[in-house]
Chains A and B, each alone.
Chain A
Amino acid sequence: MIIFLTFSSEQEQDKFEYLFHQYKKLLLHHTYGILKDYALAEDAVSEAYIRVYKNLHKIDRPDSPRTVAFLVTIARNISLTMLAQEKKHLTEVLFEEQSDGFDLEETILTRVSTARVQELLHQMREELRGVFILKYTYDLSHREIADTLGISENNVTVRLHRAKKTLAAALKKEGFENG
């Protein structure tokens, strides 16, 4: 597919060029780590940049930690999707559960340390964490997350639900242990 996109301003172009030149090696490094194939890694990074382009309005400061995490989250998740497609393990799960997955007593939230929450997020499966981060850090809608990661909106909902459920389960345990 040939896509031609044009920048709407020089500022946008500057921003995009900075992101490309500053982080291209980082993204190649991460995608190669997942895909173990340089050509596929290049595919993933190229796709990631095109999707980043479509979300340029979400990026205020190209050199901020938030921005680099945004890029890496997108590139790594695209790689994971490609890997799953390669292995034909990608299955569409229908979302039927009604609760939001994060069914916690609010009192537990105040008892859990920030460091522990970070640790739990770090341990979370990357496919789940990626969606979680795009939703809660960058305020992307389910539709936007789906477009950015190249997955269905339903898949976004499922992953988000699972992410919150995983976090809630771990936090509940922490709460009981600490309580």
Chain B
Amino acid sequence: MDKKEEFLRRAANEYVELQGEALRQEADRLNREAVYPTAGLERRVFNAVRPRKRRWLASLAAVAACLALVFLGGRTLFGDGGSAPSPTAQTPDDTGIIALSFQVPTGFTQTGMEQDQGKSIYYFDDRLGDNVVLTLEKPTTLIDASSFTELNINDADAYAASKEGYQIMTFEKDEVLYTLTCRYDVNTLLRFGEVIL
């Protein structure tokens, strides 16, 4: 490669590294703060590119199942002012399974369920590729809310956070602790929150 080509290549690469870093930070900020309706865009893009079956669902389930244990201590999410037990509270059946009490949002399909140490874990495929894992359990531990953003969904409290590699939302209803995780967009979880709460 001659010196001029080498110069041009180096200039372009250095420019891209510098701009790219600034853009990455801008993307993080927009993902946290900006509210853009993206459902239409997702439909268009993912209708054009056909997804394959995901292998990471199992690891996401493990994350969801472990969360209540991970965030022990600190501020209590569902202490004073939390949602009061309802007379129609969900109760586990003989097998310990806590059944779903809501209609799955449009675009999602339940693809599996398993029971693990008092937790009922449900799997939902998202038509747009942001699959969801929901864990239901009796709330026996306190969760540290310091790293969560407090939300109000249908006049109920919920707590969401964007973690490394996944999104999480948790709330309590009818004496059941709901923990939802997905990979990409907290708005995916909000759609569940809206039909549950």
Contact = CB atoms under 8 A, between A and B. Distances in A.
Interface of A: 2-7, 9-10, 13-14, 16-18, 20-26, 28-29, 42, 45-46, 49-50, 53, 63-70, 72, 102, 104, 106, 109, 114, 117-118, 121-122, 132-133, 135-137, 164, 167
B177 to A, nearest CB: 26
Given A21-B183, A117-B11, A106 B4 contact: yes
Contacts of A6: 49-50, 52
B20 A7 contact: no
Nearest to B129: A17
Contacts of A23: 27
29 contacts: A4-B48, A4-B50, A6-B52, A13-B54, A20-B45, A21-B183, A24-B38, A24-B41, A25-B30, A25-B31, A25-B34, A29-B26, A29-B34, A42-B44, A50-B49, A53-B48, A53-B49, A65-B18, A65-B20, A68-B23, A69-B16, A69-B20, A72-B19, A109-B7, A118-B14, A118-B15, A121-B15, A122-B19, A137-B9
Given A42-B41, A118-B15, 20 more contacts: A5-B50, A7-B51, A9-B52, A10-B53, A14-B56, A22-B31, A22-B184, A23-B27, A24-B36, A25-B36, A42-B40, A42-B44, A50-B48, A65-B19, A69-B23, A106-B4, A114-B14, A117-B11, A136-B13, A137-B13
B23 A65 contact: yes
A68 B48 contact: no
B44 A46 contact: yes
A133 B41 contact: no
A28 to B, nearest CB: 5
B48 A136 contact: no
A13 B51 contact: yes
A137 B12 contact: yes
Nearest to A114: B14
B130 interface: yes
Contact of B52 (A10, A29, A167): A10
B150 interface: no
B41 A46 contact: yes
A20 B48 CA distance: 13
Given A13-B52, A121-B11, A68 B45 contact: no
A68 B16 CA distance: 9
A5 B53 CA distance: 15
Contacts of B19: 65, 69, 72, 122
Nearest to B11: A117
A45 B56 CA distance: 26
A29 B30 CA distance: 8
A174 B145 CA distance: 56
B7 A5 contact: no
A21 B23 CA distance: 15
A21 B189 CA distance: 14
A46 B34 contact: no
B3 A21 contact: no
Which has the most chain A C-beta neighbours within 10 Å: B4, B49, B53, B54? B49
Contacts of A63: 24
Given A122-B15, A133-B15, A109 B4 contact: yes
Contacts of B93: none
B16 A65 contact: yes
